Chain A
């Protein structure tokens, strides 16, 4: 990505390739056993979240530990539109994203007064505060621990009341239900936003605004000495990435109309950091790959339990097999977080540039080797 051969043409190829890969997901994910709508929706939603996070962390260099709060705000706002106005997702998504944007404007205004570690701690504290509030005082709005859910008694001003005995109407896009086409509609709906989000992130990266952000990351003091006021740029980057997160939260609520405070917990913020790092900080596609890998691994690992493992190692002698199975079982199923933590450490220690750097390294080694071969 960082090669000097970035042209509008290569960007177009990248964008078209990305679009094609995303749209073809239901086909090429089949052999991996991941081609079902629920999981693919997660890929798209968290991919979008990670792209947005990357605009702040990757480009501007500000490590936020509170981005999950925007997901939560987006989700809550979306569900409220479902409850009060209409089950059509478009107004809900627009409203949710805007609310998340305003919320991130407030948070950003406060947090961006400080840099570095102070910034991380401030975002962490503010997100934790929103989480606590959602659980306690704001219960009338958030429904506290039960989470915000739809009910047949909601007003739905535009849709009209639900007939007696009918269930809660499903979320829909101008009449097409999210679950239509065996659930694939929901995926393509999210994929559309992922692709648009990706396009916007390419445009931001290549714009003068993007180079301004990278300038802030490299040396903010120098930027200020050249007479620039960096504040508006940082704030804009923060709000943009907050809106991406908000949009991701809206999509979560659109495909599954409920919202809970646990989405705002700071471990959720940690997860998106890991996705971005694992994929490759500051690269365009990296965050999406990271998000997909993590969600895929989570899905696979947390499904394995001890009996599966015992079966798996049954070819070994009995005692040895059980022993290995019990050791491995620490890392799967409920212990999946242990694997996540280890992965986190290993990536930061050995591959700070993430998967994209790994690909680059392999490519370079391969390339250099083949050149050496041809020289012989």
Chain B
């Protein structure tokens, strides 16, 4: 029982990442009707925002190491530590939360630039063309990152405050130690999801967007510039998946093709949840994340070897064969 609960917990952070990417994909798909194969690249770019900020604030000078007296030794001391002392090291330690502040405007900018510069010209083109052009863009983005940061994963550390583990089972008398940062990630992803939903549900802007998703033409006839709102939505979706990638860096060291790995799975998540359904995307994200980590238990693997590698795809096939529209899919979406 403990083991199962623990695996469910382990699935939550991965599920959170899937849910956030799938949420962004669905937002873009529901509003603009565009299938964005470059969405995984946005996730990766977000992660590299963290890497860049970390590099920037740990810019170091070589300083003579006084503790070594036998010979001349030098060590790297970040400028921030030299100037600000203790506060400096604290800032460096908290580089990931700090990079959140940087990543939001950066990802918004990248998202808007992508929409204005490229995606906008593909609204009326067939879905195949949209897939292909965004696939090309994803390759380009990831190769650029590779050219700058190399091909090796770059490990990032969470702030000391969140390191270590918490015992979640203490309250119910069980032993469930769980890495703190994964818990933070889960709470963070729930927070973002709640924010996106309440933005769509409780603001005028969100209301217009929802109306546009339901019937674009009528909204336009009412004299609302829906295209402009939709490109903002694209920007928001870019921010959501960028932040998902950024916060994921302490769990998985970012490398240039992490986006592609997540993208394929997120598409499966979207299909399982039902194309165009936001709650479906979130539910399917967590569901598949948890199922994946349950399948990687040794007890399960003994019965079905290799099930952890394919469980997500198996579920996707079964869902599509039994409920072709996905778990919460709406009628008439993508059924040309």
Contact = CB atoms under 8 A, between A and B. Distances in A.
A136 B305 CA distance: 9
A335 B128 CA distance: 26
Contacts of B175: none
Chain A: interface secondary structure?
helix
A118 interface: yes
A57 B131 CA distance: 13
A122 interface: yes
A341 B275 contact: no
B268 interface: yes
B59 interface: no
A50 B242 CA distance: 36
Given A118-B334, A122-B320, A352-B129, A338 B140 contact: yes
Nearest to A124: B264
B127 interface: yes
A59 B157 CA distance: 51
Given A125-B267, A137-B305, A344 B131 contact: no
B100 to A, nearest CB: 29
Interface string A143-172: 000000000000000000000000000000
B176 interface: no
Chain B: interface secondary structure?
helix
B309 A137 contact: yes
Contacts of B335: 115-116
A328 interface: no
A133 B314 CA distance: 12
Interface in B296-336: 305-306, 309-310, 312-314, 316-317, 320-321, 324, 334-336
B139 A117 contact: no
Given A338-B140, A341-B143, A352-B129, A137 B320 contact: no
Contacts of A128: 264, 313
Contacts of A117: 35, 127, 131, 275, 334
A122 B271 contact: yes
Interface in A339-355: 340-345, 348-349, 352
A337 B131 contact: no
Contacts of A337: 139, 143
B310 A114 contact: no
B306 A113 contact: no
A345 B140 contact: yes
Nearest to A341: B139
B191 interface: no
Nearest to A137: B306
A270 B267 contact: no
Interface residues of A, number: 44
30 contacts: A61-B128, A63-B128, A65-B131, A114-B320, A114-B324, A116-B127, A116-B336, A117-B334, A118-B271, A120-B131, A122-B316, A122-B317, A125-B264, A125-B267, A125-B316, A126-B313, A126-B317, A128-B313, A132-B309, A132-B310, A135-B309, A137-B306, A266-B264, A267-B260, A338-B139, A341-B138, A341-B143, A344-B133, A345-B118, A345-B137
Nearest to A340: B139
Contacts of A344: 132-133, 135-136, 139
Interface of B: 35, 118, 121, 125, 127-129, 131-133, 135-140, 143-144, 146-147, 260, 264, 267-268, 270-271, 275, 305-306, 309-310, 312-314, 316-317, 320-321, 324, 334-336
A85 interface: no
Contact of B135 (A132, A136, A270): A270
A138 B305 CA distance: 10
A307 B132 CA distance: 34
Nearest to A128: B264
Contacts of B118: 345, 349
A338 B143 contact: yes
A102 B335 CA distance: 28
A133 B132 contact: no
